[in-house]
A and B are shown apart, each in its own frame.
Chain A
Amino acid sequence: MDIEKYVILKPSVDAILKSLLASGKTIVAPVRKKDAVCFEKIDENSTVADDFVQTKLSLKSFAFPRYEKLFGFNKSQKNVTVNDFDFKQIPEIYLWGTKPCDASGFLALNAIFNWDFKDAIYNARQEKLTIITFSCFQSDENCFCTSVGGGPGGTAGSDILFTKVGDEKYIAEVISEKGSRIREQFSEFFLPTEAELKKEQYLAKIDQLLDKEIIKERLENFFESEIWKKQSERCLGCGACAYVCPACGCFDIQDEKSANQGSRIRCWDSCGFSQFTVHASGHNPRASQSQRWRQRLSHKFSIMPERLNVVGCTGCGRCSRACPVDMNLLEHLTSIMKMNHDG
């Protein structure tokens, strides 16, 4: 559907949140805890944080949890019963106060979980999410959403986008069917758009520093380049970047058993771990960190755009902030762009 533009006053935005909470809806919003802000379930007494650049963890866990039980099994004598995944227990969740780079991460995950096999569990969770995003009016040096096709006021992946324009007013963009349902429920708050309001004036200034087409082309030619070893020398091979990334969807399957019953569990995994690609034979096609780093960048910026038509990165900068040894993604991509065509 086409994006519908409206104007909405701040008290109305607060009223929408209050009303959703009062009607018993599960709302997840950013809350300040000591030095950091994190997304968690709120109630009517919570204070929603709105003056932070980014949270440490992404919102992907609401469609792709840190771990989830796929099914349970029970063996008694010779009979095995399987307790399948109960789709009815998936809660409906409103993600309130999302940033545009969190919302666009869901597009990457949607592609990963649907490109050849439609992952019913991921899709069911994703369908139950309503994503209400607020545009960014501040950023830091790690943000680069504008370099990967996004922006501080980007609408991709959101159901409604609110952009603050002054102290008491927001521009509201209704982007999807789910957003329309909210607009209809609270129609008296959504006022006609004001043509003179220019959204761009109120957004954070994030210069576009990269050209994703050039990066894609470089990556296609750089398989044998020395740059991978150089860039990955300090990488420790932990999973911090993959786990905080809103667009990373790699997972492991574990069977956890106790006596005669157990569960099959899906949990997060990272391509940075040394054992990630170990085969049952013992052979490891990505035995060195430089091979794993090459795969990480190629996957996100070359292979995914090529095969799934979506960039595997939202420019949120979490990986750079979380990395213990400053593997700054923007810096690495800039180096790649600066190199000449042959690597």
Chain B
Amino acid sequence: MEFEPKIVAFVCNWCTYAGADLTGTSRIKYSNDVKIIRFPCTGRIDFMYLLKAFAEGADGIIVSGCHPNDCHYTSGNFHARRRWMVFEGLLNFIGIDSRRIVFSWISAAEGAKWAELVNKTVKSIQELGPYTQYQKVAGTFKKEVTNG
């Protein structure tokens, strides 16, 4: 049986979430391996949420919001863009595989793009496999004790 990855999607309410809605109403089929978390804006997405998602068992993450210049709050996605540029570099240096995080701009009209993104991400995470390396580290606090 093929590995069904757990993917968490952090999306903005005004564009990507609405876009995902459109995907549904358009009856476009896409993988159900993704769990969507709705934020008012990508600018609100703290980088720690991504780490927490990995710690809780996510194998892959999608972060998506409005295209630049289309942010409902004018500039939230510009701040998010800078944050992700910096975060991605740090994650790679520390050894947290940033190929497991997919960043995207998807507008409320791009229902097909949402489906395509999810399907593509599921496929790439299937190829990368479950994220056991981080989950092992995350599970250490559930063990009994450490000495040292």
Choose the segment among B35-43, B75-83, B138-146 that binds chain A (4+ C-beta atoms closer than 8 Å): B138-146
Residue A43 CB within 8 A of the other chain? no
Q: Which of B56, B141, B142, B145 has the most CB of A within 10 A?
A: B145
Residue B95 CB within 8 A of the other chain? no
Q: Which of A61, A72, A258 has the most CB of B within 10 A?
A: A258
Q: What B residues does A89 contact at CB under 8 A? A: 144
Q: Please tell me which one of the listed residues B143, B147, B148 contacts residue A69 in the complex, with CB atoms under 8 A apart.
A: B143
Q: Please tell me which one of the listed residues B56, B143, B148 contacts residue A66 in the complex, with CB atoms under 8 A apart.
A: B148
Residue A265 CB within 8 A of the other chain? yes
Residue A62 CB within 8 A of the other chain? yes
Q: What B residues does A86 contact at CB under 8 A? A: 144
Residue A68 CB within 8 A of the other chain? yes
The answer to whether A69 touches B144, judged by C-beta atoms less than 8 angstroms apart, is yes
Residue A57 CB within 8 A of the other chain? yes
Cα A69 to Cα B146 with chains together (Å)? 9
Question: Chain A's nearest CB lies how many Å from the CB of B80?
Answer: 27
The answer to whether A40 touches B141, judged by C-beta atoms less than 8 angstroms apart, is no
Cα A67 to Cα B143 with chains together (Å)? 10
Cα A131 to Cα B145 with chains together (Å)? 20
Residue A291 CB within 8 A of the other chain? no
The answer to whether B147 touches A62, judged by C-beta atoms less than 8 angstroms apart, is yes
Question: Chain A's nearest CB lies how many Å from the CB of B43?
Answer: 27
The answer to whether B56 touches A258, judged by C-beta atoms less than 8 angstroms apart, is yes
Cα A68 to Cα B148 with chains together (Å)? 11
Give the size of the chain B interface in residues (CB under 8 angstroms).
9
Residue A138 CB within 8 A of the other chain? no
Q: What A residues does B141 contact at CB under 8 A? A: 67, 69, 256, 263, 265
Residue A324 CB within 8 A of the other chain? no
The answer to whether B145 touches A263, judged by C-beta atoms less than 8 angstroms apart, is no
Residue A65 CB within 8 A of the other chain? yes
Q: What A residues does B142 contact at CB under 8 A? A: 69, 72, 263
Who on chain A is nearest to B140 by CB?
Answer: A67
Who on chain B is nearest to A65 by CB?
Answer: B145
Q: A256-B141, A263-B141, A265-B141 are in contact. Are A67 and B56 (CB under 8 A)?
A: no
Q: What B residues does A259 contact at CB under 8 A? A: 56
Cα A263 to Cα B145 with chains together (Å)? 12
The answer to whether B148 touches A40, judged by C-beta atoms less than 8 angstroms apart, is yes
Q: What B residues does A66 contact at CB under 8 A? A: 146, 148
Docked complex: B107-148 residues within 8 A CB-CB of A: 141-148
The answer to whether A67 touches B148, judged by C-beta atoms less than 8 angstroms apart, is no
Who on chain A is nearest to B139 by CB?
Answer: A258
Who on chain B is nearest to A90 by CB?
Answer: B145
The answer to whether B146 touches A67, judged by C-beta atoms less than 8 angstroms apart, is yes
Cα A326 to Cα B142 with chains together (Å)? 37
Q: Which of B56, B141, B143 has the most CB of A within 10 A?
A: B141
Cα A61 to Cα B144 with chains together (Å)? 14
The answer to whether A61 touches B56, judged by C-beta atoms less than 8 angstroms apart, is no
One digit per residue, 1 when the CB lies within 8 angstroms of any chain B CB and 0 when it does not, for chain A 51-67 equals 00000010001100111
One digit per residue, 1 when the CB lies within 8 angstroms of any chain B CB and 0 when it does not, for chain A 292-311 equals 00000000000000000000
The answer to whether B148 touches A61, judged by C-beta atoms less than 8 angstroms apart, is yes
Cα A62 to Cα B141 with chains together (Å)? 17
Who on chain A is nearest to B145 by CB?
Answer: A68
Q: What B residues does A72 contact at CB under 8 A? A: 142
Q: Which of B56, B146, B147, B148 has the most CB of A within 10 A?
A: B147
Cα A93 to Cα B147 with chains together (Å)? 11
Cα A258 to Cα B135 with chains together (Å)? 13
Cα A170 to Cα B141 with chains together (Å)? 43
Q: What B residues does A61 contact at CB under 8 A? A: 146-148
One digit per residue, 1 when the CB lies within 8 angstroms of any chain A CB and 0 when it does not, for chain B 54-65 equals 001000000000
Cα A28 to Cα B148 with chains together (Å)? 11
Q: What A residues does B147 contact at CB under 8 A? A: 28, 61-62, 65, 93
Instruction: Other than A61-B148, A62-B147, give 16 A-B pairs with Cβ distance below 8 A.
Output: A40-B148, A65-B145, A65-B147, A66-B148, A67-B145, A67-B146, A69-B141, A69-B143, A69-B145, A72-B142, A89-B144, A93-B147, A256-B141, A258-B56, A263-B141, A263-B142
3 interchain residue pairs of minimum CB distance: A68-B145, A65-B145, A61-B147
Interchain Cβ contacts under 8 Å between A and B, 5 examples: A39-B148, A40-B148, A67-B141, A69-B144, A263-B142
A residues sitting closer than 8 Å to B (CB atoms) are 28, 39-40, 57, 61-62, 65-69, 72, 86, 89, 93, 256, 258-259, 263, 265
